[in-house]
Amino acid sequence: MIGKQSSIVLLATVFFLFSFINNSTELPQAREFVVVLDAGHGGHDPGNLGNGYLEKNIALSIVLEIGSVLEKNGVRVIYTRKDDTFVDLYKRGEIANKANADLFVSVHCDSHNSDAYGAGTFVLGLHANKQNFEVAKKENSVIYLEDNYENRYADYDINSAESVIGLTIMQEEFLDQSIQLGKLIQDNFTQSLKRKDRKVKQAGFIVLHQTFMPSVLVETGFLTNKNEGSYLNSKKGQQEMGKAIASAILKYKNGVDSSTIDLEPSTETEKTVTPSIADNSEKTEEVKKEREVNMPKAEEKKLANAPKIEKSAEPVAKSGDNSPSTTATAAAANITFKIQLMASSKQVPLKGDNFNGLNDLSREPYKNLYRYMYGNTPSYFKAKLLKENADLKGYTTSYIVAYKDGQRVPLAEALKYVGEQ
Ligand SMILES: [Zn+2]
């Protein structure tokens, strides 16, 4: 029988252990790594039909295998599709952007009218040669299966190799990281699985242009090749390819995690940084000039020392306090809106020249990246005008983001406080 005292000790021990377990489970959440997996094609778009195989089914099986390995390793996985449904190309990127994912990985199978075989990984860029262009063109042609594609993809001419030059601007910021992931994937394909190495290549894939994060498109092999087609259509092939991609993603994640830890500030340096950034579009010209000189310095200093995890990061702009309120409820709740133009691992100076002439720019650390925003207003109506302006300046994939008390909140939550919509 257990005495009263020892039961108290036991109880205390249980509480202690419980709080320990609780704390340790919170840690990975704070550093949550989010991967969006995109199985190419789906629904009424079967993809390529080499040797009678269905690209859409093979891509999905591989993606589900990648996802199950990643989930077992504490990665949060978001799928653009988990079953045989058709998803518009622009929606795939939108899903990744809304999730603020760390990586976007699209999985496909190739086809050719020769015996070509091998696996390759693409990042967005200029087609180095006609062959790369043809691969991108094939995958891009799915837009013709979407409703309203003429308007939605007005900027893209998928038949022109030159038209893609403009496409590279946004993903350029993530090119190093995308290539890094691509190399890890190719290493696994060639070293572990002895697949033929078609290397990391650049081409103008629309689906990669839509995302604000390191992004790759994997062509796992050629269904038109007899051996490779049958391998990719087999359970064994799909599991092996899925595991190889998943293990590359985990290697990439561990690399990012360790560099994030290196960049974390000591509490000592954090104390010395006291940025006070007023960001207000209604200010006088004189104040604007002063801000242009002072803000980047203060912000850069802060960012250099800022923690890379969003939860612990202070808001960069504490705004809306001094501006004339166009929406009483929004101002009372201290809601503001900005337009997110892009996210990047690089510190781009906040000058109009670097953002196609847009000004009123701000930047905030997010995970291992910086988010770049344009404008700052308590009015959702004005935010929509700012978004239109960003579109006109070429930031067609930008989107409205919301803040409450200077902290990023979901747009839907912010709109609850705003009468106008
Ligand atoms: Zn495809």
pLDDT band (50, 70, 90) for residue 217: very high
Q: Does residue 243 share a domain with residue 296?
A: no
Ligand 1 geometric centre to CA of 96 (Å)? 18
Ligand 1 geometric centre to CA of 225 (Å)? 15
Output the domain CATH number for residue 140: 3.40.630.40
Ligand 1 geometric centre to CA of 278 (Å)? 47
Ligand 1 geometric centre to CA of 219 (Å)? 8
| Residues 47-58 pLDDT 10s | 999 999 999 999
Nearest to 222 by CA among 46, 89, 49, 44: 49
Ligand 1 geometric centre to CA of 394 (Å)? 27
Q: Which of 148-157, 179-188, 274-283 has the highest mean pLDDT?
A: 179-188
Ligand 1 geometric centre to CA of 139 (Å)? 5
CA-based angle 145:146:151, to the nearest 5?
125
Q: Does residue 298 share a domain with residue 171?
A: no
pLDDT band (50, 70, 90) for residue 6: low
Residue 17 domain-assigned (yes or no): no
Given 235, 260, 285, which residue is the final one in a domain?
Answer: 260
Per-residue pLDDT, averaged over 125-153, amounts to 78
Ligand 1 geometric centre to CA of 105 (Å)? 13
Q: Which of 157-161, 269-273, 389-393 has the highest mean pLDDT?
A: 389-393
| ipTM associated with this complex | 0.99
Ligand 1 geometric centre to CA of 40 (Å)? 5
Least confident of 15-19, 138-142, 208-212, 345-349: 15-19
Q: Quote the tokens at residue 342.
A: 């892009």
| Residues 379-392 pLDDT 10s | 888 888 888 888 87
Residues 6+ apart with CB under 8 A from 224: 48, 50, 51, 110, 111, 112, 113, 114, 115, 116
Alpha carbon distances (Å) from 111 to 55, 182, 226: 10, 20, 11
Q: Does residue 247 share a domain with residue 285?
A: no
Residue 420 domain-assigned (yes or no): no
**Which pLDDT score, from 0 to 100, does residue 169 have?**
54
Given 260, 294, 314, which residue is the final one in a domain?
Answer: 260
Q: Quote the tokens at residue 303.
A: 């960012």
**How many Å apart are CA 44 and CA 193, to the nearest integer?**
32
Residue 146 domain-assigned (yes or no): yes
Ligand 1 geometric centre to CA of 249 (Å)? 20
**Which pLDDT score, from 0 to 100, does residue 420 have?**
58
Ligand 1 geometric centre to CA of 118 (Å)? 15
Ligand 1 geometric centre to CA of 95 (Å)? 19
For residue 408, the cross-strand partners are 403
- Which is more confidently placed, 38 or 331? 38
Q: Quote the tokens at residue 51.
A: 């040797």
Torsion of CA 282, 287, 288, 290, to 10 degrees: -160
Ligand 1 geometric centre to CA of 46 (Å)? 9
Ligand 1 geometric centre to CA of 41 (Å)? 6
| Residues 311-347 pLDDT 10s | 323 333 333 333 343 455 667 788 999 998 887 777 8
Q: Does residue 198 share a domain with residue 90?
A: yes
Question: Which one-letter DSSP state was computed for residue 45?
Answer: B
The domain containing residue 113 runs over which residues?
31-260
Total domains in the chain come to 2
